[in-house]
């Protein structure tokens, strides 16, 4: 029997009857806050009906929306004179492997295990994320652009070092660190030779997914408002903030209703691309802080060297990696065996 069918049998967990925890919640809440408001059984039935109606209406709207939205045919996009690095998973599920190809998808080469690659500004090295041991922790690694001389940049601390990005001046690499058992994430920088590890964000806040400004003086990042365990997700969803590295001043840049994730600063400095909580690609213009919503779903955005196109990992439609225009038109699909994700784009 196929493993996917066996995994689907997890749904039989629905046959396990959970306990009614309302009394226990009520008891605990008396210690820490107002009593838990128990709703009479007759009203519970009405509430369940209400929830079901909302779910059915939502599913119907989703179905109708998909039925009316088409997919644009791919058009010629970037030339083969630029390179992309990305994470590739093989058809048999093995991987992911950091891989490189020309920006038109030709000349694809597999370099080694890892994901979330980012080019050094001179294009000679790649920084990436790799699992340690059994895979429950990850560290940051470096290698030459041909896959040689792989070296560890951060130690295995049992947690996650993620999403590295090389600074445009080549001096530092920023990454997200989540410590084991920790409730928040922090941004760190480290020099490519492994020296100068430094935390940039306050430990109480939950900050992650940073991208450098072109002059390497600022970082765009994702911040969870009041990001302690108790306060996480409170006072609104994640938003894009900018951290000035000289003054340590933080400015909130977006107010996106569904939240904002994984910013990418354009090489010309004018814009920050990101995805919202529903996976829609958006572009923040830094001149007036306006946000343009593109008609395409994806994540892991990176800019073309000329700041005129985006490389995204698609979550709907054809292909895993796609080059799109700044209005969301698909210009080129970068396919291949298996799956490709999270590209990093550089002038060759």
User: How far is residue 34 from each of residues 26, 44, 130, measured CA to CA in Å?
Assistant: 9, 21, 45
Near other proteins by CB under 8 A: residue from 19, 65, 70, 76: 19
Rank residues 91 and 109 by Cβ distance to other proteins and give the closer one: 91
Rank residues 77 and 239 by Cβ distance to other proteins and give the closer one: 239
CB of 49 to other proteins, least distance (A): 11
Positions 131 through 170 that interact with other proteins (CB under 8 A):
131, 134-136, 138, 160, 162-163
Report the alpha-carbon distance of residue 275 to residue 298 in Å, rounded. Answer: 7
Contact call for residue 70 and other proteins (CB under 8 A): no
The radius of gyration computed from the CA coordinates of the chain, to the nearest angstrom, equals 22
Residue 289 CB partners (closer than 8 Å, separation 6+): 253, 254
Strand runs (DSSP E) across 92-159, as ranges?
A: 97-102, 109-113, 115-119, 125-132, 137-144, 151-152
CB of 134 to other proteins, least distance (A): 5
Report the alpha-carbon distance of residue 256 to residue 277 in Å, rounded. Answer: 9
Residue 311 CB partners (closer than 8 Å, separation 6+): 84, 103, 301, 302, 303, 304, 321, 322, 323, 343, 344, 345
Near other proteins by CB under 8 A: residue from 211, 341, 344, 345: 341
Positions 232 through 261 that interact with other proteins (CB under 8 A):
232-237, 261
The length of the chain in residues reads 348
Q: Smallest Cα–Cα separation from 294: which of 328, 263, 266? A: 328
Near other proteins by CB under 8 A: residue from 80, 180, 196, 337: 180
Contact call for residue 71 and other proteins (CB under 8 A): no
Near other proteins by CB under 8 A: residue from 77, 78, 82, 95: 95
Rank residues 49 and 81 by Cβ distance to other proteins and give the closer one: 49
Contact call for residue 42 and other proteins (CB under 8 A): no
Site string for other proteins, 192-231 (x = CB under 8 A): --------------x-xx----------------x--xxx
Contact call for residue 10 and other proteins (CB under 8 A): yes
Near other proteins by CB under 8 A: residue from 77, 88, 96, 256: 96
Contact call for residue 39 and other proteins (CB under 8 A): yes
* Cis preceding-peptide flag for 271 (omega within 30 of 0): no
CA angle 141, 276, 123 (to 5 degrees): 30
CB 109 within 8 A of CB 147: yes
Rank residues 7 and 67 by Cβ distance to other proteins and give the closer one: 7
Contact call for residue 320 and other proteins (CB under 8 A): no
Contact call for residue 43 and other proteins (CB under 8 A): yes
CB of 277 to other proteins, least distance (A): 7
CB atoms under 10 Å from CB of 178, counted, come to 19
Largest CA distance in the chain: 68
Rank residues 77 and 98 by Cβ distance to other proteins and give the closer one: 98
Number of residues that bind other proteins (CB under 8 A): 82
Near other proteins by CB under 8 A: residue from 60, 79, 81, 94: 94
Rank residues 134 and 149 by Cβ distance to other proteins and give the closer one: 134
Rank residues 9 and 246 by Cβ distance to other proteins and give the closer one: 9
Contact call for residue 67 and other proteins (CB under 8 A): no
> What do you get for the CA distance between the two ends of the chain, in Å?
47
Contact call for residue 343 and other proteins (CB under 8 A): no
Q: Smallest Cα–Cα separation from 272: which of 256, 297, 289? A: 289
């Amino acid at each position: 029997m196929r493993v996917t069918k066996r995994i689907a049998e997890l749904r039989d967990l629905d046959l396990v009857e959970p306990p009614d925890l309302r009394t226990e919640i009520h008891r605990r809440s008396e210690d820490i806050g107002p009593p838990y408001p128990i709703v009479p059984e007759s009203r519970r039935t009405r509430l369940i009906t209400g929830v079901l109606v909302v779910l059915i209406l939502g599913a119907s709207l989703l179905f109708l929306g998909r039925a009316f939205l088409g997919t644009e045919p791919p058009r010629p996009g970037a030339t083969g004179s630029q390179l992309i690095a990305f994470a590739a998973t093989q058809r048999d599920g093995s991987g992911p492997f950091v891989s490189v190809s020309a920006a038109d998808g030709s000349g694809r080469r597999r370099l080694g295990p890892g994901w979330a690659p980012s080019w050094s500004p001179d294009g000679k090295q790649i920084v990436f994320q790799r699992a340690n041991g059994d895979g429950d922790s990850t560290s940051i690694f470096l290698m030459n652009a041909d896959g040689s001389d792989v070296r560890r940049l951060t130690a295995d601390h049992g947690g996650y070092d993620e999403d590295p990005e090389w600074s445009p001046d080549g001096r530092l690499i920023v990454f997200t660190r989540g410590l084991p058992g920790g409730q928040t994430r922090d941004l760190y920088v480290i020099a490519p030779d492994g020296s100068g590890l430094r935390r940039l964000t306050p430990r109480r806040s939950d900050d992650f997914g940073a991208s450098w400004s072109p002059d390497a003086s600022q970082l765009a990042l994702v911040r969870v408002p009041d990001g302690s365990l108790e306060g996480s997700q409170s006072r609104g969803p994640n938003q894009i903030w900018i951290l000035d590295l000289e003054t340590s001043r933080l400015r909130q840049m977006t107010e996106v209703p569904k939240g904002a994730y994984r910013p990418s600063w354009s090489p010309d400095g004018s814009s920050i691309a990101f995805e919202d909580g529903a996976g829609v690609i958006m572009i923040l213009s830094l001149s007036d802080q306006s946000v343009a919503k593109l008609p395409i779903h994806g994540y892991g955005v990176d800019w073309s060297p000329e700041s005129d196109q985006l490389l995204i990992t698609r979550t709907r439609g054809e292909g895993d990696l796609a080059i799109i225009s700044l209005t969301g038109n698909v210009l080129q699909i970068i396919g291949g065996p298996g799956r490709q994700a999270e590209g990093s784009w550089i002038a060759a």
